[in-house]
Chains A and B, each alone.
Chain A
Amino acid sequence: MLKLASVVTAYGNTEVLHGVSLHVRAGEVVALVGANGAGKSTLLNTISGIVPARRGSVLFDGKEIGRAAADRIVRLGLSHVPEGRQLFGPLSVRDNLLLGAYSRGRADTRAHLHDDLEHVLDTFPRLRERLEQRAGTLSGGEQQMLAIARGLMARPKLLLFDEPSMGLAPRVMEEIFRAIGELRHQGLTVLLVEQNARWALRIADRGYVLENGRLVLDGTAEEMLDNREVQRAYLGKGYREVWE
């Protein structure tokens, strides 16, 4: 469904991604693990067209999107739930959700929109109570739910998640990950960036490790969880635990 080949991305003269190749098959949940500053967010921003790829190709559903505009990529069925949520704070929760469906345009009927709204509200019942509230007044967990729900309103085939657990209490995080698991059962394909590698790999089928703008490791989620290098670097196990 998604295929990156030797993608190079740079901000000005600073190259951040030095030739990244990866793929995500339909129906898969793929985790992208890496330390701060490894280029994970840049990789997602390249896929969703916020930052254009300088070289290499990004194929989504067989179409080249490496240098396409962000709004076109959303219309093709790729939603990006960004780091920091990027909600529209002064607008109501309902308006945030409806704007999530902006890319679908006027061709889509009101009835469809209403059904989808109901659907995401069933997935995140807490948002239903807050529908008329300003998005900026929600708690961190609710904002993350809203960001995911807004991404879903575009009816994506592929959903990119950037650090969904950031700044959330463990209990809320659990709820978010349960929702992501649910989405996958509904047939959604997911590319997940997460600092908390253990959580990410637990719900993922496969994983990649990104280091300094290069992919250094890939494998199934189980392989990754067992890999000593991954354990040491990203699962928070000390040298002693791993090597002794």
Chain B
Amino acid sequence: MGWISNTLQSLISGIAVGSTYAIVALGFTIIFSSTEVVNFAQGEFVMIGAMISYWLTYDDFGLRWPLYVVVPIAVAVSAVVGLLLGWVLMRPRKDASPISLIIITVGASVLLQGIAGNQWGKDAVPVPPFTAVDPPPLDLGAIFHNGSLFPVSVQSQQLWVMGLMVLLVIGLTLFFNKTMVGKALRAVAVNKHGARLVGINVSRLVMGAFALSAAMGALAGAAIAPISTGNYAMGAMMGLKGFAAAIVGGLGNFTGSIVAGVLLGVLETCGAGFLPPEFAQYKDAFAFIILLLVLFISPNGIFALWRRKKAVRA
């Protein structure tokens, strides 16, 4: 019965990794819906979160701060970087097309990666998990009878990642539906002209959206790095996968981003688990094969088919 165990194991690590893709995808979604800009620096926020967590916890640098101090700092630094990026993008706003702004985000991504490579070197670095103790191996079989049927071990960090994603989604839902600032941000996404007319300072709000998505990315980075290790260039892959998830979910679609992110993570790890070892390095290609398939079948994301039906009915 080893394969059931393996599948469950892959499923859990897939959901954990997918949770970070989902968070990055949400970052893309928040920025895209309020600015029509795809922020290709989104992945770098994940890198910033991971690398600052590493930097401030390992004693090569004489610092050994506890994580409950370090993670908020990493998130705050990333939020400031996001704010700056938003500010830069809002400056030439007058008649800049989204395309030229997207190029600016690509530039910002290269710049941030360069700075990180200089500061922290090119090697993979360890980041400590939030809690040191892992829960005992979960055994579904033991629930039903006495034997050890499908033993699955879960790292505590995986639980952290999933838990953070759930909390973040709840928090964002409340923010966008219950607070005035959240509603104003939705108003900006729906109708910028109307938003200006009711007195919403659109560029300030957009800068806030950048800070928010940067903070989310950094949190995802600090949470996943203990599992995946940190690396100055990890942002590129993270950003691309989050972007794939955002597209598969239908760019600008909140629920779609979450579902597609988790799905992508699961397919990726399960795929890697079933592939013969000599193909293991193709794991990363999985996300993009799925992306291509979705774009062929339903160019507006996996929910577009269903939504079109609903639109006809309405």
Contact = CB atoms under 8 A, between A and B. Distances in A.
B191 A80 contact: no
Given A95-B183, A99-B187, A102-B184, A50 B198 contact: no
Contacts, number: 67
A98 interface: yes
Contact of A88 (B180, B191, B196, B199): B191
Contacts of A48: 197
A239 to B, nearest CB: 39
Interface string B238-269: 00000000000000000000000000000000
Interface residues of B, number: 17
Interface residues of A, number: 27
Interface in A221-237: none
A102 B180 contact: yes
Contacts of B100: none
B190 A88 contact: yes
Interface stretch (A20-28, A29-37, A67-75, A184-192): A67-75
Contact of B201 (A69, A80, A86, A88): A69
A87 interface: yes
Interface string B168-190: 00000000000010011011001
Interface in A63-110: 69-71, 73-75, 79-80, 82, 85-91, 95, 98-100, 102-103
A70 to B, nearest CB: 4
A89 B189 CA distance: 11
A92 to B, nearest CB: 10
Interface string B192-206: 011111111110000
A89 B191 contact: yes
A102 B200 contact: yes
Interface in B117-138: none
A154 B194 contact: no
A91 B201 contact: no
B190 A70 contact: no
B196 A50 contact: yes
A50 B197 contact: yes
A71 B200 contact: yes
A74 B190 contact: no
A95 B199 CA distance: 15
A150 interface: yes
A85 B196 CA distance: 13
Contacts of A100: 198
B154 to A, nearest CB: 39
8 contacts: A50-B196, A69-B201, A71-B201, A82-B193, A82-B194, A87-B191, A98-B183, A102-B198
Given A48-B197, A103-B198, 10 more contacts: A50-B197, A71-B201, A73-B199, A82-B197, A87-B191, A95-B183, A99-B195, A100-B198, A102-B184, A102-B200
